[in-house]
A and B are shown apart, each in its own frame.
Chain A
Amino acid sequence: MSVQPAMPKSWRMDTKPHKFCPGCGHGLVLKALGMAIDDLGIQDRAVFGCDIGCSLLSWDFFNVDSIQTHHGRTTPVITGLKRANPNLIGIAYMGDGGGYAIGSQHLVNAAARNEHITVILVNNTQYGMTGGQMAPTTLPGQKTETTPYGRDPQKTGYPTQGPEMVAAITREGAYVARGTIANLNQLKGYIKKALQNQMEGNGFSFVEVLSACPTNWRTNAEETWKMVEQEMPKYFKVGEIKVPGKEGRENG
């Protein structure tokens, strides 16, 4: 008899094992989200939106009403939903392409309007599902299918600093953080605070998560964690960036 680790109550069991690649960070992020939904008791009120890309594989992940949208359009769909029924807890789940490239205008505007939704953005530095093309978060020198010789920051800029941007354009009431799959307890805490921020009616909440894609990075376990724990934090600082009531503070 094997011992099964405890899974969040809000997870849907009949769609497990899930469809993510072995070593993918999505499973961990969705576990943190599931635990947060359990703790806050919002399984009946939450609506989960996912984007196009690997996040799409989570469309039937939870026992939570869900909608798979178009690429980059999860934020506006969840925004529309929340505006029409403010009792719902709107969760917009997407990747770095869906959030910082095609979805960037929606992210910026939802943040600027202080929409009462929670955006969770999984950052694995490239476009996974379509075969590993460059993303706004690709690291300098990183090889991808559209930067076969390595990303040249002179030509394509530096990795997007999403949470910092959102923090800069939101006012008091927004919650902004960057977590990592390397610290699930911390991540769960950030996601919980982000959801609570919505529940309390304060404003926009945004959590970016440093995640792994060993498949497209072509890394073994050791190299994968090195990337998440050492390389990525060189460009992406982990911590709380904006907390309501703590105006003027930088990192948590």
Chain B
Amino acid sequence: MEVSDNISSRIVEAYIGEYASGKSEVAVNRALQLARQGRRVNLVDLDIVEPCYTLRPIKKRLLDLGVDVLAWETRETMGLGEAGNILRPGNRWALRRSGDVILDIGYGVEGARTLHLLEGADKDPDLKVLAVINIARPLTGSVSDIVDYVRGLGRVDGLVNNSHLGDETTVEIIQEGAAVVAEAARRLGLPVVATAALAELAREIGPVDAAGNPVRPITRFMPQTFW
């Protein structure tokens, strides 16, 4: 059962976080969740350290599922990451597009500062910057690590627990993540917006996890990209 979002207000979410924390997967699924509710959604690739590896390969499939994807087409680019293009010009203006805007912000030492590249980010009243946390990633494995990490990111409005071990993910690790992220969030004074979990595991957990966070079921798309 999906919880419908407030129909009238515009949803603008920027997913940031550690390398391989699951930002892209969470962003893609969030965009699809909104599209299924009949909303107009724009999914934007703002990964500028590893451009073109995430959304580009699945762009067509997402378009067929009703999500407008702002990412390079393979044929528009040249080389990738050493002889290629980083920022797609149209992506700078993503906030001007009508409908919801879901942003996949890549990793990088500057964290949330990447949002400076988004025209109007500092003034957008609906923008929420959400940090995706996977406690199976060594640099965000404990409450204190997560607190330090999130503090170093810059502007963060909420956390998303995306604790997983890829194909080996179990309900235990998701729930453990929920508890750790919830405690970190409490210390940071931030809300935990959701726990993301693979659809089968989400069914086992139910609509709310052990820490009381809403559960967002995820279908994996990233294995169809390079990773």
Is there a chain B Cβ closer than 8 Å to A184's Cβ? no
* CB atoms of B116 and A223 under 8 A apart: yes
Q: Which residues of A contact B206 (CB under 8 A)?
A: none
- In the complex, which residue of chain B has the Cβ closest to the Cβ of A131? B49
- Chain A min CB distance to B174 (Å): 30
- Chain B min CB distance to A186 (Å): 27
Give the interface SS of chain A, mostly helix, strand, loop or mixed.
Answer: loop
* CB atoms of B117 and A214 under 8 A apart: yes
Task: Report the contact-size class of chain A (Cβ under 8 Å from the partner).
Answer: 20 to 34
Q: CB < 8 Å: which of B82, B89, B113, B116 contacts A129?
A: B82
Number of residue pairs A-B, CB distance < 8 angstroms? 69
Q: How far is the CA of A57 from the CA of B116 in the complex (A)?
A: 24
- Chain A min CB distance to B148 (Å): 13
Q: Which residues of B contact A17 (CB under 8 A)?
A: 89
Give the interface SS of chain B, mostly helix, strand, loop or mixed.
Answer: loop
Is there a chain B Cβ closer than 8 Å to A202's Cβ? no
CB contact list, A46-74 vs B, under 8 A: 52-54, 56-57, 68
What string of 1s and 0s marks CB contacts (under 8 Å) between A91-110 and chain B?
00000000000000000000
**Interface size on B (CB < 8 Å)?**
24
* CB atoms of A218 and B89 under 8 A apart: no
Q: Which residues of B contact A56 (CB under 8 A)?
A: 79, 83
Q: CB < 8 Å: which of A19, A53, A220 contacts B116?
A: A220
What string of 1s and 0s marks CB contacts (under 8 Å) between A228-249 and chain B?
0000000000000000000000
Q: How far is the CA of A130 from the CA of B83 in the complex (A)?
A: 9
* CB atoms of A218 and B113 under 8 A apart: yes
* CB atoms of B116 and A22 under 8 A apart: no
- Chain B min CB distance to A229 (Å): 17
Q: How far is the CA of A17 from the CA of B89 in the complex (A)?
A: 10
Segment at the B interface, from A28-36, A76-84, A143-151: A143-151
Q: CB < 8 Å: which of A20, A57, A130, A131 contacts B108?
A: A131
Q: CB < 8 Å: which of A68, A128, A219, A223 contacts B86?
A: A128
Interface pairs (25), CB distance under 8 Å = A19-B77, A19-B85, A21-B85, A22-B87, A52-B82, A53-B82, A54-B86, A56-B79, A57-B84, A68-B83, A128-B86, A129-B81, A129-B86, A130-B82, A143-B109, A143-B110, A144-B109, A145-B49, A214-B117, A215-B48, A216-B86, A218-B108, A218-B113, A218-B116, A220-B117
Given A132-B49, A215-B86; 18 other pairs, CB 8 A cutoff: A19-B78, A19-B84, A19-B85, A21-B85, A21-B89, A22-B89, A57-B78, A129-B82, A129-B83, A129-B84, A131-B81, A131-B108, A143-B109, A145-B108, A148-B109, A214-B116, A220-B116, A220-B119
Q: Which residues of B contact A (CB under 8 A)?
A: 48-50, 77-79, 81-87, 89, 92, 108-110, 113-114, 116-117, 119, 122
